A and B are shown apart, each in its own frame.
Chain A
Amino acid sequence: MFERALNVFWIVLGAASAAYAWSLGVVGPAGPESGLFPFIASTIVSGAGIILLLRPSTQVRAPNFPRSSGLWRVLGVILGLIVMAAGMPYLGFSVASFITMIILLRTVDRSSWLSAVTLAFLSTASVFWLFGHLLGMALPRGPWGW
């Protein structure tokens, strides 16, 4: 079912993209336009989606998505990255990555609070020191200057 829905998504995506590429112009008086290449690619996406959708159901395997604890671990990593991406501009790299690490260690590893905080502090400090200090990379800083 999931794969069937994905194949429909490919068809719609390809069609919408092809329509947009067409609006950019495909071939003009001066030769090929900006839309030519994306139009060809979009048509292939839609075409491949149609072929995949037409496959007999015996060839469509149900994907083995995780359940229970495996699912929580995967969602924990995604949540951690969302917090990191959303928090970094406001909190700075150090604080955002410290919070992310705690989320990861608590949800994925189920570490105790003490070991999660210790490991989060050590790894954040090491990465900040390596990239921010040693390699001179400009990592975002929070309102408190670090």
Chain B
Amino acid sequence: MEALNGLLTGFGVILTPANLYLCFLGSLIGTLVGVLPGVGPLAALALLLPVTFTLSPIGGMVMLASIFYGAMYGGSTTSILLNIPGEAASVVTCIDGHQMARQGRAGPALGIAAIGSFIAGTLGVVIMTFFAPAIAAAAIRFGPPENFALMVLGLVCTLFMISGSTIKGVLMMALGFLTAAVGLDVVNGRERYTFGSVDLSGGIELLAVVIGLFGVAEILSNVETMAKTTLLADRIRGLWPSLADWRASWRAILRGSGLGFMLGMVPGGGPVTAAFMSYALEKRIATQPDRFGKGAIEGVAGPESANNSAVAGSLIPVLSLGIPSNPVTALLLGALIIQGIQPGPLFIAQRPDLFWGIVASMYVGNVFLLLLNLPLVGLWVQFLRIPYRVMFPVVLLLCVVGTYSANKNVFDLWVMLGFGVAGYVLRKLEYDLAPFVIAFVLAPLLEQSLRQSLVMSPDGAMILIKRPVTALLLAASVALTFLMFRRRTKTEGGLP
């Protein structure tokens, strides 16, 4: 009942012309970002973050959140028609979606992707409506030691879920902590790692880091190959799936919704993992698994549902606990902090308008996205005609403007360039960059919690073991670390 009252408050907040416009604008930009290959939701959020500083916190967050889930909708269009993922969570849609397009079934593939996304997105928000307040209520008694242990568990979960080497993930995370330490000490205001530089005394700018690592590095990777693509269909007909398509897809949509939501909540999970896991699940339980890879509609319906549901799931830990589960939610957390709002267990109680406004906007946004992605699919197809060689200089210019606009400081452009080149090289060496960004955003909170815990304890670090919730969370972290290293050593036959 409390959740329903909250939701009504949220609709009261969102159903104003200004907020509806921002929700629609975010959905539109999100779809465009999803459709255009080479521009991910993270880079788009980072580019538009400075624009939201001029908006109210609710308007800004509604727009940023709608870009995030809008990109999940749009990504499938490029995967199906060009065999290139519009964004990372749509990689798996290329497999069967593009095969369907080659067989002249681009319409049903796009249709089931959009409808599955709508169903899963809406189901995800429904679960979020009831689940997030319950988690926040349970965590409301947490003090600094519990917050510290919870963040440690979140970081360990991130490492557990990353692709590639765990040690490289640990290294990236530690580098994220170190980079965040540059500037003023969060507790006593003392300068660290600034070496007398005025530019460094304010710390390393989050936007410069994110735009560098995920915007510039992505452009560098793309210009290296500059592959030519073939658009499979100019005009899309017959978007509504047939009865046989529905029979084959509805279970996959429901399974994808549930799986995506759960994986979205796990730190390190999120839309990309959810889409891959859903595809693997559908293939495993299929009566004819050999159909997969040859245009099986379940191979589109499941993953597309999963990546949308995962968005709702991934917003739960960040809004109810203040812990981001992936780089996009880390940036959303950063956006809230810049606005002077600290997400965490008290967030729902202190800012019900903001929390419930974001939740309500997701119901509305999903409807906008269904309308944008079904009747307007022909418009998005025309965007796919823009060659990347024309698009990337403009995106690069936007990266520069987005970075500069945060502090009006040219030094940030050098930081962006440095992180862009570093991100490009590290990707080549198979370093996962997600732990870096999550650690960079969480570092001030983690350090503050650790130091507060140690100050309030007469027994030093023993406070982390003596408090039952803290001990339980840290024990879970240790167990997960043990499992992680054991699994990697077994599968890779050497060092993790």
* A and B together in one complex: yes
Query: Which chain A residues have a beta carbon within 8 Å of chain B's beta carbons?
Result: 2-3, 6, 10, 14, 17, 20-21, 24, 30-32, 34-38, 40-42, 44-45, 48-49, 51-52, 54-56, 58-59, 61, 63-66, 70-71, 73-74, 76-78, 80-82, 84-85, 88-89, 93, 97, 100-101, 104-105, 108-109, 111, 119-120, 123-124, 126-127, 131, 135-140
A-B CB pair tally, cutoff 8 Å: 170
Task: Verify A34–B219 contact, CB threshold 8 A.
Answer: no
Most B-side CB within 10 Å, residue of A44, A51, A85, A137: A85
Binds A, one of B18-26, B311-319, B423-431, B474-482: B423-431
Of A42, A58, A64, the contact of B428 (CB 8 Å cutoff): A64
B-side interface residues, number (CB < 8 Å): 62
- Complex Cα gap A68–B389 (Å): 18
**A84 & B181 in contact (Cβ 8 Å cutoff):** no
A139 x B401 contact (CB < 8 A): yes
- Which one, B111-119, B171-179, B346-354, B362-370, is touching chain A? B171-179
Contact residues in B for A40 (Cβ distance below 8 Å): 177
How far, in Å, is A109 (CB) from chain B's closest CB? Answer: 4
Shortest beta-carbon distance from A105 to chain B in Å: 6
Please indicate which of the listed interface residues A32, A42, A56, A89 has the most CB atoms of chain B within 10 Å of its own CB: A32
In the complex, are the beta carbons of A84 and B400 less than 8 A apart? yes
Please name all residues of chain B whose beta carbon is closer than 8 Å to the beta carbon of A109 when the two chains form the complex. Answer: 389-390
A119-B165 Cα distance, complex, nearest whole Å: 43
Write the chain A residue with the least CB distance to B420.
A81
B223 touches A74 (CB 8 A): yes
Task: Using CB atoms and an 8 Å cutoff, list the residues of chain B in contact with chain A.
Answer: 50-51, 54, 165, 167-168, 170-171, 173-175, 177-178, 181, 185, 187-188, 190, 192-193, 216, 219-220, 223-226, 389-390, 392-394, 396-398, 400-401, 404-405, 408, 410, 413-414, 416-417, 420-421, 424-425, 428-430, 443, 446-447, 450-451, 454-455, 492, 494-495
CA distance in complex: A14, B171 (Å)? 10
Residues of chain A with a CB closer than 8 A to B389's CB: 108-109, 111
A34-B190, A48-B170 known; A59+B494 contact, CB < 8 A: yes
Q: B397 near A119 (CB under 8 angstroms)?
A: no
Give bound CA distance, A135 to B178, whole Å.
35
Does B429 lie within 8 Å of A6, measured CB to CB?
yes
Task: State whether A65 touches B428 (Cβ < 8 A).
Answer: yes
Query: Would you call B216 and A63 a contact (CB within 8 A)?
Result: no
Say which residue of B178, B193, B223, B416 sits within 8 Å of A73 (CB atoms): B223
In the complex, chain B residues whose CB is within 8 Å of the CB of A136: 54
Contacts of B443 in A (CB 8 A): 37
- Contacting A131 at CB < 8 Å: which of B178, B223, B401? B401
In the assembled complex, the CB of B456 is this many whole angstroms from the nearest CB of chain A, namely 9
Q: Which residues of B contact A63 (CB under 8 A)?
A: 425, 428-429
Q: Which residue of B lies closest to A82 (CB)?
A: B417
> Would you call A74 and B429 a contact (CB within 8 A)?
no
Q: Is the CB of A54 within 8 A of B495?
A: yes
A36 CB to nearest B CB, Å: 7
Question: Judging by beta carbons under 8 Å apart, are B447 and A123 in contact?
Answer: no
